[in-house]
Structure 1
Amino acid sequence: MIVDAHHHLWRDDQGYAWLDDPNLTPIRRTFSPTDLRAELAANGVDRTILVEGGRGDTGEARLLLGYLADAPEIAGVVAWADPASPTLLETLAGYRALPGGDRLVGVRAQIQGIDDPGYLDRDDVRLGLRAIGDAGLAFDLCIRADQIAAAARAARDLPSVRFVLDHLGKPAIRDGGLASWSADLATLAGRPNVTAKLSGLATEASWKTWTADDLRPYIEEALRLFGAERLMFGSDWPVCLLATPYAEWVSVLTSILPADAREMVFGGTAERTYHLTRD
């Protein structure tokens, strides 16, 4: 059972402001369930986790959960919610009341866009994170490398919350930022309630010239710190298309991971972390 733990779907009329960046022209178009299913079939992927796409509003959840009817491979949805919002519980209840709401498996916020590296230390944020955990949901950490230290403190202080680090915390691969990233990652990985996604790495490298050897030290360090049982494969499709086709990312990750790690990374960890059920 192969699980892609991180991908997106969007329509070009849905108001994703971040796609207005001229560098993102190649992905400024509709990506539909039909497009997704073609990629999954071509790469032998059985199930997926659909993740919010940075729109930053509650209306997106209805769209994402609605895709379940057209793509049965979607085993779970990670929807947007603001952990500091006083109406967080009402938002989560509303999501679960939607068609497909039983497939809500997690919450994510675009913390990477917040200047404060200590945002996750705030009392109101911590209160919301605890509520997300109490609701049985994972919290995806969409953060920059300089926010990893605060994430480690949050994971230490909230041991009942399942935290998922997206894109390994976005290390500065194109700038050779291995050492500083690794030090903070080691602290975060020391928290047993944290898992991490091997996703989004090619787009942190030089889009046109990266090689597998550029990514290898980061993947191997993550494997050393987390172990295969707390790492999961994610394509970050279609964002990954800025730097790599879906098939190439699967091939590169397979070539770097040792054979005895692949079963967990390519499926087992995601199933356990997101509490996926086998239909």
Structure 2
Amino acid sequence: MSDAQVLVDAHHHVWDLDARPQPWLDEAGHETIRRTFTTAELRGAATATVAGRRLERTVLVQCVASADETREFLALAAGDPLVGAVVGWADLTSPAVGDVLDALRAGPGGDRLRAVRHLVQGEPDTAWLQRPSVERGLRAVGERRLGYDLLVRSHQLPQAIRLAERLPGLPLVLDHAGKPPIARQRLDDWERDVRRLAAHPQVRCKVSGLVTEADHEKWTVDDIRPVWEVLLSAFGPERLMFGSDWPVCLLAGGWNRWAAAVEELLAGCSAAETEAVLAGTATTFYRLSPAPGKEGTACC
């Protein structure tokens, strides 16, 4: 398989409900995904190609605020060649966050820890990312050459902008494009703030999680296209990365349907632009090593 056929899924989850409860799944509307999901099931679900590429590498992202979950994910990554990187969790407000990150990196699979994330979308504090304790924690993240995944809702984007201003050396990636309100078709405020965030060169953006911001049953590619066009204009393809948000995307069609939508959105992009979105940006941001059997290839 040539470099041009590699596909990186920069955002997915797994969970074992027998081992670790996921309280957020108890919310109404999550019945479809209220069960255990494994990387083996992801392999079985991700059968479609995107621009001729098959899934070769993924980034596994934390679900709950638990360093133990992160340890489990790192150990899983150590034994599963599909998972090239882990976005974990550590308590950014703790004075000991640096020690926790060091311990995670020293444990099984610790070399796969590439970024951390906190569920800012659930924080009522409108300046959570500006808390002195959080900023201190994020500086510890950056000192360890780790990135930070921004999980914010569209109305919280001003926090992300202020973070990018205050910590220009911290690599940031915006998860799910900042959750634009696609179903409500009111994108003006989101577009303004996304463009302001994209003006900071250390920020990347995941083209992920969009179908669950649209009408779960009725969405079409045309519903997603206005968001895609803003992202392409604001970030450029070299700062965008494909992500599935599997298995959450099962609420609105699943991995293959989203993959087909992305392929349609990429129509008109050059080979180099397609490479960036589908592999290159994620490979660089998360420092992905070559997939097994791909040593010596250029893209990942």
TM-based fold match above 0.5: yes
Matched letter for residue 6 of structure 1? H
Which residue does 1:49 correspond to in 2? 59
User: Per-residue deviation at 1:70?
Assistant: 4.5
Equivalent positions of 1:88-107 (< 5 A) are: 88-107=97-116
Q: CA deviation at 1:153?
A: 1.3
Determine the structure 2 residue equivalent to 1:6: 11
What is the CA–CA distance in structure 1 between the aligned matches of 2:78 and 2:137, rounded to whole Å? 30
* Contact 2:78–2:112 (8 Å) recurs in 1: no
Identify which range, 89-98 or 236-245, moves more after superposition.
89-98
What SS class does the counterpart of residue 183 from structure 2 fall into? Answer: helix
SS in structure 2 of the partner of residue 143 of structure 1: coil
Aligned equivalents of 1:41, 1:89: Cα separation in 2: 39
Q: Which runs of 5+ in 1 are unaligned?
A: none
Equivalence map 1:224-235=2 (5 Å): 224-235=233-244
8 Å contact from structure 1 (residues 117, 146) kept in 2:
no
Deviations 1:210-244 (A, max 9, x none): 11111100011011000000000000000000002
Q: 1:202-213 to 2 correspondence within 5 Å? A: 202-213=211-222
In the alignment, which residue of structure 2 is the partner of 1:138?
147
Give 3-state SS (helix, strand or coil) of 2:86's partner.
strand
Q: 1:28 aligned to 2:34? A: yes
1:119, distance to aligned residue in structure 2 (A): 1.4
Unaligned 5+ segments in structure 2 are 1-5, 296-300
Match of residue 267 from structure 1: 279
Residue of 7, 12, 19 corresponding to 2:25: 19
Asked if 1:256 corresponds to 2:257, the answer is: no
Equivalences, count: 278
d(CA) in 2 for partners of 1:111, 1:196: 16
CA distance in 1, matches of 2:96, 2:186: 38
The one-letter amino acid of 1:137's match is: L
Could you list the per-position Cα deviations for residues 58-99 of structure 1 after superposition, in whole angstroms to 9, with x for gaps in the alignment? Answer: 110121112224421110000012222212111101211211
The equivalent residue for 1:201 is 210
Note the C-alpha offset of 1:173: 0.8
C-alpha displacement of 1:277: 2.2
SS at match of 2:212: helix
One-letter code aligned to 1:18? W
Say whether residues 1:154 and 2:160 are aligned partners: no
Query: Aligned with 2:30: secondary structure?
Result: helix
8 Å CA contact 2:206–2:242 kept in 1: the answer is yes
Paired residues of 1:33 and 1:67 also in contact (CA < 8 A):
no
- Percent identity, aligned pairs only, is 44
Alignment of 1:182 with 2:191, yes or no, is: yes
RMSD, aligned CA: 1.3
Q: Distance in 1 between matches of 2:78 and 2:129?
A: 35
Aligned 8 A contact 2:129 2:159 in 1? yes
Which residue is 1:239 aligned to? 248
User: Would the alpha carbon gap of residues 221 and 42 (structure 1) be closer, same or farther in structure 2, given more than 3 Å must change?
Assistant: closer
Partner Cα separation in structure 2 for residue 227 and residue 97 of structure 1: 36
How much does 1:117 deviate?
Answer: 2.3
Q: Is 1:110 matched with 2:115? A: no
Contact 2:10-2:243 within 8 A present in 1 as well: yes
Task: Decide whether the 8 Å contact of 2:48 with 2:260 is kept in 1.
Answer: no
Q: Post-superposition shift, 1:186? A: 0.8
AA aligned opposite 1:109:
H
Q: Choose from 157, 166, 177 the match for 1:168.
A: 177
Instruction: Name the residue aligned to 2:225.
Output: 216
Matched, 1:276 2:288: yes
Residue 102 of structure 1 and its aligned partner are, at CA, apart by 0.5
